[in-house]
Amino acid sequence: MNNVVELSLAGNRFSSIKETGMWRLCELKQLDLSFNYMEGRLTMPSECNRYGLERLILNDNHLIGEIPTSLERLTALRALYLDYNMLTGPIPESLGNLTGLTELVL
């Protein structure tokens, strides 16, 4: 499964990104985890995928807290969907470092 480029796990009952094990998919370009039951704070990857992920879709979950500055580690990110969560606080200035980001849905 190491060559997976797009993965949709939308509409399941995952409670955290870590639970999906997807950060080990080094070729992944698009991840859709919308409409799950992920609760708590959003945490970012520490494994290989952080360099190639282009689309991260996390809308319609139960994420709380601030948008993490660690999103800037997703250097290839072009689209980020965080709408319909319970995020608070300012938009981190570090998102400005994602120079390829063309879609930001909050």
Q: Specify the CATH number for the domain of residue 101.
A: 3.80.10.10
pLDDT of 30-88, one tens digit each?
A: 999 999 988 777 766 555 555 688 999 999 998 888 998 888 888 899 999 999 999 99
Q: Structurally, how many domains does the chain consist of?
A: 1
Let me know: does 61 contact 41? Beta carbons within 8 Å. Answer: no
Tokens standing for 1?
């499964």
Query: Does a structural domain hold residue 47?
Result: yes
Higher pLDDT: 48 or 101? It is: 101
For range 23-33, the mean pLDDT: 83
Tokens standing for 27?
């070729």
pLDDT of residue 86: 92
Please determine, for residue 4, whether its predicted confidence score (pLDDT) is greater than 60.
yes
Radius of gyration of the chain (CA): 13
Query: Does a structural domain hold residue 46?
Result: yes
Give the global pTM.
0.85
pLDDT of residue 60: 95
Query: Does a structural domain hold residue 61?
Result: yes
Query: Does a structural domain hold residue 92?
Result: yes
Query: Does a structural domain hold residue 56?
Result: yes
Query: Does a structural domain hold residue 1?
Result: no
Domain that holds residue 57: 6-105
